[in-house]
A = this chain, B = another copy of it.
Amino acid sequence: MSSQAAIKRIRGLHRKKERISSGLAIAQGGKLVRELLESDMSLIELHVRADQQELLQGLTGVDMDIANQEELDKMATMQTGVSAVAVFEQPDYGALLPEEGEVYLACDAVADPGNLGTIIRSAENFGITGVVLGLETVDLFNPKCVQATMGSLFRVPTFRMDLFELNAVDVSIYKAELEGQSLYDVEMGSPAIVVVGNETHGVTEEFKEATAITIPITGDAESLNVGMAATVIAAELYRRELS
């Protein structure tokens, strides 16, 4: 059984303010909690349904218990019926910048947590070394974002910074825009950063010197959303690496 205090503490982490002040975040659902346990993240607290109690095996120094469904539902943000809820420490990778041969993605004011989650997941899938998050980008530890990464969040290095500072670093900067050089024609420098922008406003003025690249699409279509755009760019860069 989980205490009322635990439920209250975890519900507090639904709020960004509380996540920032505590440096903690939550992961929900048996699948995601398994990914968390297999990662290098620091686990603080774990509440599981009786049928998932094998998750507790071998853990030490963790505040853990068997919870009933009602308690878990109170801890969860998104769906009813989750079998596990965990609290983990937000990782601190320090200041990150790409080195020779590496490509980073930079998220400039990405607003939707689902899109940010897709970006992190694509970064891992396609060998992007790290993701930097602009100050205006949605909280990476927003529960919707954590879920959308499907665990990639636990493995991809991330770093929040004022992206304007990238302009002072010796790195080739590209930005995904509606108009620019075709993704398929651009020769990337190294190290490189590809900036993706806000869902409505695109990449900010701060990157006016960066090389604009565009994903060719058919004439009539609305543009891709930022999660899809980052996925296509990362897949193309990985395709080149393979060939």
Interface residues of A (CB under 8 A from B): 35, 114, 118, 121-122, 124-127, 150-152, 155, 182, 184, 215-218, 220-225, 227-228, 231-232, 235-236, 238-239, 242-243
Contact = CB atoms under 8 A, between A and B. Distances in A.
Given A118-B228, A215-B235, A235-B235, A221 B184 contact: no
A235 B232 contact: yes
A22 to B, nearest CB: 27
A152 B222 contact: yes
A36 to B, nearest CB: 13
A242 B35 CA distance: 39
Contact of A239 (B118, B121, B184, B231): B184
Nearest to A123: B221
A56 to B, nearest CB: 23
A201 to B, nearest CB: 14
Contacts of A227: 228
A152 B44 CA distance: 44
Contacts of A150: 222, 225
B218 A121 contact: no
A150 B112 CA distance: 15
B184 A242 contact: yes
Nearest to A235: B232
A126 B223 CA distance: 10
A121 to B, nearest CB: 7
B216 A238 contact: yes
A27 to B, nearest CB: 14
Contacts of A127: 218
B228 A121 contact: yes
Contacts of A224: 121-122, 125, 231
A187 to B, nearest CB: 16
A113 to B, nearest CB: 13
